[in-house]
Structures are given as structure tokens and as C-alpha cells.
Amino acid sequence: MTKRKNLIEKLGVHIEGKEQIAPLAARILATLILTGKQGTTFEALVCELGASKSTISTHLTTLQAASRITYYTKSGDRKKYFILIPDVMIHAMADMLKNWKCEQRLHLEIMEYKKEINESLPKDSDEIFDLEFHTDYLEFLNQASASIEKLQKKLTEKNTNN
């Protein structure tokens, strides 16, 4: 197996599990990630992935409907060149940040509840909640969110300038 095919397979398996999409759809995304801005044609996908035309077509339609991929054409060329939606990573980061903010709010609420319970218990009680995990996890989420926001801003600025 060539290095490219091996990487498409590895990345495809990762995307499939992470995003809960069909194996071939994940491999199409992996192929487009490795192809870059020039994109790839329907025929090239059929050949490279070894799937039937109808199956490739179905997954391309599904990925387009999900706003994961798009295509462009070249003047005088009847082929479509499929590419990833340019700001798909920015949207994925926004979703990740939204989920993390929700988790932060939940952990803060859980911590407040546990603090109230702790205050009502005798100081030597075995039932006192240890709040260290929540504190550490909230700190992690704050640091991770700040890093993702920084990367998201950088990608947004780069896309705006291109």
C-alpha cells in the first residue's frame, strides 16, 4: 500500500469514528484533505477509492448537503473539482468551543452543588466531596478554549486575507 493510500485509510478511520459518518464518506474527506486546494475530480475519487460511481456520487451529495465539501469548475473543462469547504475547520472549532462552554457551565453548577453539600456536613465526614477534579478540569477547559480561540482567530484572519 502506498504512503498516500495508507494515510487516507488511517485518516478515514479516524474521521469515521470521530464524526460518525459512513466509511467511504470519511475516506472521501481524507482524500480531499490530502489533495488540498486543487481538489480532485469524481473520476479520480472513483479510481483512487475503488468504489462504484453510484456510491461515490451518493456520498459526494451527502457531504455537500452537510456543508462539508463543495466544488469548482475550470473554464473550458466540464469536470467538477471537489474540495473541502474552506472554513470547515473554523466551524468545527466553534462547535467544539460551544460544547466546552456548556461543559464548563455544568461543572460549575455541579461544583456549587457539591460545595453546598460539603458545607452542611461535619468537617471530618467521609461524605465530603473532593472538588479538585472539577477545579483542574475547568482550568484545562479554560486553557484549551483560549488556545482554540487563538487558532480560530488566526485561521479566520488567514481566510479573510486570501
Measured CA to CA, the distance from residue 18 to residue 16 in angstroms comes to: 6
Could you tell me which of 70, 5, 1 has the C-alpha nearest to residue 40?
70
Measured CA to CA, the distance from residue 52 to residue 8 in angstroms comes to: 18
Decide if pLDDT at 162 tops 70.
no
Decide if pLDDT at 160 tops 80.
no
In which band, very low, low, confident or very high, does the pLDDT at 155 lie, cut at 50, 70 and 90?
Answer: confident
The rounded mean pLDDT for the chain is 93
Beta-carbon contacts of residue 83 (< 8 Å; ≥ 6 apart) = 32, 35, 37, 38, 39, 69, 70, 71, 72
Residue with the three cell numbers 473539482 = 81
70: amino acid identity, one letter: T
pLDDT for res 87: 83
Are 32 and 81 within 8 A, CB to CB? no
CA angle 72, 13, 104 (to 5 degrees): 90
Query: Could you report the per-residue pLDDT of 106-148, keeping only the tens digit for each?
Result: 999 999 999 999 999 998 888 999 999 999 999 999 999 999 9
Are 73 and 80 within 8 A, CB to CB? yes
For residue 40, the cross-strand partners are 82
Query: Could you report the per-residue pLDDT of 76-106, keeping only the tens digit for each?
Result: 989 999 999 878 888 889 999 999 999 999 9
pLDDT above 70 covers a percentage of the chain that reads 99
Are 49 and 27 within 8 A, CB to CB? yes
In which band, very low, low, confident or very high, does the pLDDT at 14 lie, cut at 50, 70 and 90?
Answer: very high
Decide if pLDDT at 1 tops 70.
no
Within 10 A of 75 (CB to CB), how many other CB atoms are there?
4
DSSP string, 7-24: HHHHHHHHHHHHHT--HH
Decide if pLDDT at 19 tops 90.
no
